[in-house]
Amino acid sequence: MAKLYYKYGAMGSSKSAQALMTMFNYEEKDRRVWLIKPAVDNRGDARAITSRVGLRAEADVILPDDDLFDKFMGSCGGFADVIIADEAQFFTPAQIDALRRIVDELDIPVLCFGLRTDFRTVGFPGSIRLFELADSITEIKTICACGRKAIVNARRGPDGNITVTGEQVFIGGNESYEAMCHKCWKEKIRQQRERA
């Protein structure tokens, strides 16, 4: 019986690497994988999923208006054995509903990888919907510089300071984000305010 899986973690927790390793495991067993990512993730090669450890694979790019059920039936003819989605926090709630429909109606497992919250610790609409609908939810852990578990995706502004204002979606890598524990995040914000 197929399930909808959500594997989430802070920036730098190896989500993309795990998505690509999962794809490799399925393909090694002669299973057909439909690898997808949202169009908003346009870092580097916009048509590929890449990880910080150097893994890379071509992926179908999903636009915000795409109906994932229809696209799945069209792109794969509905003949993939599994769907693997990276950066799933950027999918719309309707697209998450379509992935749930694929699991329920076509009995195809869907594995989603993504962030839980943004740089303000506010949930992304796609992540919130996955938490509501997923059969299995797993945290992929990483650590803060202090050694505690990182749960915050701290965003750095051009001046290098942590910011808590701005648009929810800002695509960037290590130059723009740092995974932190909540305590360090709050402490750095406090220190910045005292210096201002």
Co-location of 80 and 104 in the same domain: yes
Co-location of 93 and 185 in the same domain: no
- Work out the burial of residue 55: count CB atoms within 10 Å of its CB; fewer than 13 is exposed, 13-18 middle, 19 or more buried: middle
Look at residues 91, 108, 139 and tell me which one is the last residue of a structural domain: 139
Co-location of 92 and 178 in the same domain: no
Query: pLDDT digits over 122-138, tens only?
Result: 999 999 999 999 999 99
30 within a domain of the structure (yes/no): yes
Catalytic residues: 87
130 within a domain of the structure (yes/no): yes
144 within a domain of the structure (yes/no): no
At 11 the pLDDT is 87
At 79 the pLDDT is 81
pTM over 0.95: no
Co-location of 183 and 92 in the same domain: no
CB neighbourhood size of 44 (10 A): 11
Q: Please list, residue by residue across 116-155, b when 16 or more beta carbons sit within 10 angstroms of its beta carbon and e when fewer do.
A: bbbbeeebbbbbbbbeebbeeeeeeebebeeeeebbbbbb
**Residue 41, domain CATH:** 3.40.50.300
Taking a C-beta distance cutoff of 8 angstroms, is the pair 119, 163 a contact? yes
Which residue blocks in 29-121 are alpha helix, DSSP H?
Answer: 68-75, 93-106
Co-location of 127 and 61 in the same domain: yes
Number of domains present in the structure of the chain: 2
Q: Which domain holds residue 125?
A: 4-139
